[in-house]
Amino acid sequence: MPQKVRIALDAMGGDVGAPVVIPGAAISLSRHPDTEFLLFGDRARIEPELEKHPALKGVSRVIHTDVAVGMDDKPSQALRRGRKTSSMWLAIEAVKKGEADVAVSAGNTGALMAMARFCLRTLPGIDRPAIAAVWPTARGDSIVLDLGATIGGDAHHLVALAVMGSAMASVLFEKERPTVGLLNIGVEEIKGHEEIREAAELLRTLSLPQLEYIGFVEGDGIGKGAADVIVSEGFSGNIALKAAEGTARQMSEFLRAALSRTWLTKLGYLLARNAFKELRDKLDPNKSNGGVLLGLKGVVVKSHGGVSAEGFAYAVDVGYETAHYDLLTKINHMLNRDGGALARAQTAQEAVS
């Protein structure tokens, strides 16, 4: 009998908590029946929701705590007040203890990153974790990171992101040697901050067997699918993410307004409604939900806080896939291949400095 994928859920996280987390888990379970859940949170809020989903109830265990991390809590406050007792911490700790394969939370991003880093620690050769997510493009999906875990970063950090993003792409996209580009303000080698230019030189010099470095990628290259993996430091990556999500919502509003303006446009919508539905699905940020915190000794997935149950289900799906295809082992393997790619990158950078 195949081994179950065990997912720990922060049932108190997000703007709504259990009324979104529980039905979201139920939707994901219908797609991945080989899943079991640990639900951390207030039993009085979780169990009434579970009663509505018998299949989920049958594969779930509730671990009670009435301590939740607030969406406005500072990371330092969350660590002081919620460490050891909050639903977010307990979900992460379940991964550390081996009770779960992955933790999923829609809670406070800063608190989640701080707790995950404190509890799980980083992998050898990784200074700072990153948030990586699947990004829909004109050519299929890409992996984009870092989407806001940390601000700034030297060349060594950017190379580490390239290696981890490639591991994720190879697992999710089944590509032996994913293409990698560095997000920059232009494709010319002389453009961009010094750290980005140094990272580009390192990636060219190292010629890592697990990835194919293709050079700089401008902002519009993300949507075009210019590479399987797009690497950026967290500040720029988060701005790119929020700008794309805002543009998608704006386009949806423009389209809705245009199609309801006259009886002719309404008729046109009726005739082409399947095509419009497909477009609406592609523009829906909920369907690209779920950022993986890479670089830790365990897998944690961050969901947007304000998503619907369907949106949260996609984040749970991402958690399932990372566990089912053993992303953490793949990252470790790629970090250690050829005597340690990141160690060589660090040595090369120090020699240049």
- Structure confidence at residue 348 as a pLDDT band (50, 70, 90): low
Residue 63 has pLDDT above 70, yes or no: yes
Contact call for residues 168 and 219 (beta carbons, < 8 A): no
Alpha-carbon distance 155 to 127, whole Å? 12
Give the Cβ contact number of residue 123 at 10 Å: 20
How is residue 199 written in tokens? 């990272």
The single-letter code of the amino acid at 183 is L
Residue 186 has pLDDT above 60, yes or no: yes
Contact call for residues 47 and 18 (beta carbons, < 8 A): no
**Cis peptide before 42, with omega less than 30 degrees from 0?**
no
In this structure, which long-range contacts are made by residues 270-277, counting pairs with CB atoms below 8 Å and at least 24 apart in sequence?
A: none
324 by DSSP, 3-state: which?
helix
**Cβ partners under 8 Å of residue 153, min gap 6:** 128, 146, 161, 195, 233, 234
The confidence score (pLDDT) of residue 281 equals 61
How is residue 63 written in tokens? 């671990």
Full set of structural domains in the chain with CATH: 5-125+289-331 (3.40.718.10), 130-285+340-352 (3.40.718.10)
pLDDT tens track for 309-322: 999 999 999 999 88
Taking Cα atoms as reference points, which of 148, 167, 149, 233 lies closest to residue 198? 233
The confidence score (pLDDT) of residue 2 equals 57
pLDDT tens track for 262-308: 766 666 656 555 655 555 565 566 666 888 998 899 999 999 888 88
How is residue 166 written in tokens? 């490639």
Contact call for residues 9 and 38 (beta carbons, < 8 A): yes
* pTM confidence score: 0.83
The single-letter code of the amino acid at 124 is P
Contact call for residues 185 and 193 (beta carbons, < 8 A): no
How is residue 326 written in tokens? 């053993």
Contact call for residues 207 and 341 (beta carbons, < 8 A): no
The confidence score (pLDDT) of residue 253 equals 73
- Structure confidence at residue 136 as a pLDDT band (50, 70, 90): confident
DSSP 53: -
